Amino acid sequence: MRISRITVTVVAVPDLPLRNVIGCHQPYALRNIIQVHTDDGLVGLGEMPGGTQMRVELEQAAAQLIGTDPFALEPLRVRFRDRPKVQAAFEVPCLDLMGRATGRSVADLVGGAVRDRVPFSAYLFFKFATPDDWLGTPVGTPAARAPLGMFGAHDAVLTPEAMVGEAEAFIRRYGFRTLKLKGGVLTPAQEVETLRLLRARLGPAYRLRIDPNGGWSVQDAVAMIPALEEIGLEYYEDPVTGADAMAEVARRTTIPLATNMCVTAFADLPELAARRMAKIVLADHHWWGGLEALRQLGRFCEIFDLELSQHSNTHLGISMAAMVHAGATVPGLVYASDTHYPWQQGWDIVNEPFEFDQADGSLAVPKGPGLGVTLNEDAVHRLAEVAAAVPAEHRDDEAVIRRWFPEWAPKHGDVFRRLIT
């Protein structure tokens, strides 16, 4: 079995004006859909962030893989040393191919599942109400103007009280038992008040997290600690930016700190081991080099008594499948993983969209073969047409929010901006 052809297709999927520390989401999120074909007619699937720049980088890398064996994962990593995104982009479709060739699931091929279901967390965003022309201009295709069909109306969620309603809708629809609040948007006090209202409404059984994306000062982050400890937080994610600031906050609280901003690569791990400025690493197979890399990161965390959860960006069903296989096979991944998946409901490009268990927000591990998902060619075609019509080639959350706040100039978010673009 040899790789005979690789295609990379940019798709644009509708998204809502979800707010974050630097601005808000664009009307469309760009993803790259990777199809790795073999000489015996199999196709392995992959999905990566980004638009044209990522597509070009992936296509250049893909040319080097023609004629190679999909089982040759470690040679792939050696070939693209220091380019973990490229490793991940092709490791996942190669694992999918290995599964299709052997009749086994990806989970089986990366060590076997230690759990049958993988827990996920609600990802709660403050958001603007969707303008009437949100998807219409500047795209202009009929597909792009189609209704989103998400949770009925798209009302604004800009207050602590509104967020409680949003959380209840998520719980009702998806069963989540863990809720993550995307912070760094209102004031720290308002966001902590949001958590307090959530705790009051939901009781002690739900796990709560907050992620200000490094947007709080150390002073604010420390000032919030007494209230957060009283509310009861599962973890405190990137309240501040940089290892020094994280270490300072970590020293002041019994709540474990989590990060996907000051630890984003294997090269960051010696400092983490030495300073322990976070207890929980939010792993992302797209960033770290793939599923095997997450298992190696998992071993690292075991060695140093650190813990693991999964980070997420806006994504579709191929990434969802890979995240579930990762979540099933890394023993230390006991926290509910983040996922943006609910925000794109109805727009997936796989024929087997994922359904969260309404009892606990978990997903079943696909039985395979491979990732256990197949491509909905029509959906890909439609979202690729949208992508072709979207002028933006990379994510620019700051430009979008100026529609609401013309004078917008984010005070924080340098690291966040670098990570998402």
Known active-site residue 311 = yes
Q: What's the Cα-to-Cα distance from 114 to each of 93, 111, 181, rounded to whole Å?
A: 22, 9, 28
Q: What's the Cα-to-Cα distance from 52 to each of 60, 78, 84, 393, rounded to whole Å?
A: 12, 25, 18, 6
* Nearer Cβ to a second copy (302/378): 302
* Shortest CB 113 distance to a second copy, Å: 7
The burial of 9, by beta-carbon neighbours within 10 Å (0-12 exposed, 13-18 middle, 19 or more buried), is given as: middle
**In terms of DSSP bridges, do strands 117-119 and 43-49 run parallel, antiparallel, or are they unpaired?**
unpaired
* Nearer Cβ to a second copy (11/107): 107
Q: What's the Cα-to-Cα distance from 301 to each of 27, 136, 298, rounded to whole Å?
A: 37, 46, 5
Known active-site residue 25 = no
* Shortest CB 75 distance to a second copy, Å: 5
Annotated catalytic residue within 25, 182, 315, 340: 182
The amino acid that residue 306 corresponds to is L
Q: What's the Cα-to-Cα distance from 15 to each of 43, 56, 171, 227, rounded to whole Å?
A: 28, 24, 20, 33
* Nearer Cβ to a second copy (171/273): 273
* Nearer Cβ to a second copy (112/346): 112
* Shortest CB 126 distance to a second copy, Å: 37
* Nearer Cβ to a second copy (124/323): 323
Residues forming contacts to a second copy in the complex (CB under 8 A) are 69, 71-78, 101-102, 104, 108-109, 111-114, 266-267, 269-270, 273-274, 292, 295-296, 299-300, 302-304, 329, 331
Annotated catalytic residue within 25, 285, 311, 340: 311
* Shortest CB 254 distance to a second copy, Å: 23
* Shortest CB 107 distance to a second copy, Å: 9
Nearest to 393, CA basis, from 10, 9, 8, 7: 10
Catalytic residues: 182, 311
